[in-house]
């Protein structure tokens, strides 16, 4: 039980830090709320969907920006989608970068876009690792027989 409580505290601390550092926002809480007995793996499912989608999008973006003539419209559509998905899971910092990206896109600033893409990749990898850590913790707690503490 000691392990469980320790894990639980760790989990709580980690989650709180995520919120505080701005990786996640309220939307993620809402997602967690949506998870119940009928969809026990809902959050993980959504997040993995997000990861897949994001990786695709990042690839697409990198490709689009390497083109001779950059189709900003295309880029913008990608970023927009990225923004939509990131905001849906509450990846706040990714979302913010997306917003900045779109502004640059609008200004057709190629250098800015490339820089932004790098930033986006960084933010994405950060949030990905954080979320993976979070899920691992969750798994550990569950494996230890505890319940995942509610953050609500």
Partner 1 sequence: MGSVLRRVFKKISGFSNYFERNQSPRSRRPFHRDVEQEEFQYASSHCLSSYYSVFVARLAIMVMLAILIGLLTLLTWHFTRVYTAKSLENLAFGLRYEILQRPILRMWNILNSTVEITTAQVRLSEYVIRRHSNPVNQAQQVELYEVMRDVTWALFASRKALNAITINYRNGFVQAFHRDRRSNSTFYIYSDLVNYSISGSYGTNTLSSLEGWSGNISATWYREPLDPATGEKIGKARKIPPDDLINIAGYSQVPDGAASWHVAVSKYTDSPLLSAALPVWDSAKESIVAVVGVTTALYSVGQLMKELVEFHSGHIYLTSQEGWLLATSTNAPLLKNSTTGTQLMMAIDSEDHVIRMGAELLKRAYGNQFPPSHEVHVENARLGHQLYYIDSFFLNLQRLPMVGVIIIPRKYVMGKVDERAFKTLVILISASLCILAVGCVCIFILTNGVSKEMKLRAELISHLDARRKAEASSNYKSQFLANMSHELRTPMAAVIGLLDILMCDDCLTNEQYATITQIRKCSTALLRLLNNILDLSKVESGKLVLEESEFDLGRELEGLVDMFSVQCINHSVETVLDLSDDMPRLVQGDSARVVQIFANLISNSIKFTTSGYIVLRGWCENPNTYSNTRKFPLNQKESRCMHKMSLKQHTNHTKRSCKKEDKVILWFEVDDTGCGIDPSKWESVFESFEQADPSTTRTHGGTGLGLCIVRTLVNKMGGEIKVVKKNGPGTLMQLYLLLNTPPDTAGKHCSLKFTDHSLMVLLALNGRMGRSIMSQWLQKNQVFTQEASEWHELTQILRELFQAKRYEEPRECSRPGELHTREMKDSVFIIVVDISLLDLNTDIWREQLNFLNKYYGKAKFAWILNHDTSNTVKMELRSKGHLLMVNRPLYQAKMVQILEAAIKERNLELRKKLNTLKSTADGDSHECLEIDPIQYDAASSDDSDKSEMGSPNPVKESHILKPTEFSNTPYVTVENCVVKSNGFSTNDPSQVRSTLCDRLCSGKVVGEHKSLGGLRILLAEDTPVLQRVATIMLEKLGATVVAVGDGKQAVDSLKITPSADGCRRDSPTEDYRGRTETEIRDGPPYDLIVMDCQMPKMDGYEATKEIRKSEMETGSHIPIVALTAHAMSSDEAKCLEVGMDAYLTKPIDCKQMVSTILSLTRRSV
Residues of this chain that bind partner 1 (CB under 8 A): 19-20, 22, 25-27, 30-31, 34, 36, 38-39, 42, 45-46, 49-50, 52-53, 77, 80-81, 83-85, 87-90
What is d(CA 126, CA 105) in angstroms, rounded to the nearest whole number? 23
* Residue number with CB closer to partner 1 (2 or 36): 36
State how far the Cα of 81 lies from the Cα of 114, in Å rounded to an integer: 18
Query: CB of residue 14 vs partner 1: minimum separation in angstroms?
Result: 15
**Least CB distance to partner 1 at residue 5 (A):** 24
Minimum separation from the CB atom of position 127 to partner 1 (A): 13
Neighbour-count burial of 22, counting CB atoms closer than 10 A to its CB (0-12 exposed, 13-18 middle, 19+ buried): exposed
- Residue 26 CA to residue 7 CA, distance in Å, equals 23
């Amino acid at each position: 039980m000691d392990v469980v409580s320790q894990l639980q505290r760790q989990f709580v601390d980690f989650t709180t830090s995520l919120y505080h550092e701005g990786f996640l926002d309220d939307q993620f809480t809402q997602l967690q709320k949506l998870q119940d007995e009928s969809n026990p793996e809902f959050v993980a499912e959504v997040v993995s969907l997000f990861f897949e989608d994001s990786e695709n999008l990042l690839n697409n973006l990198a490709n689009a920006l390497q083109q001779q003539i950059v189709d900003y419209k295309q880029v913008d559509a990608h970023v927009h989608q990225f923004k939509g998905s990131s905001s849906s899971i509450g990846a706040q910092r990714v979302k913010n970068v997306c917003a900045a990206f779109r502004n640059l896109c609008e200004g057709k600033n190629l250098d800015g876009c490339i820089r932004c893409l790098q930033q986006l990749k960084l933010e994405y990898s950060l949030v990905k690792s954080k979320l993976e850590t979070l899920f691992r913790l969750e798994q550990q707690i569950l494996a230890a027989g505890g319940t995942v503490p509610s953050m609500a």
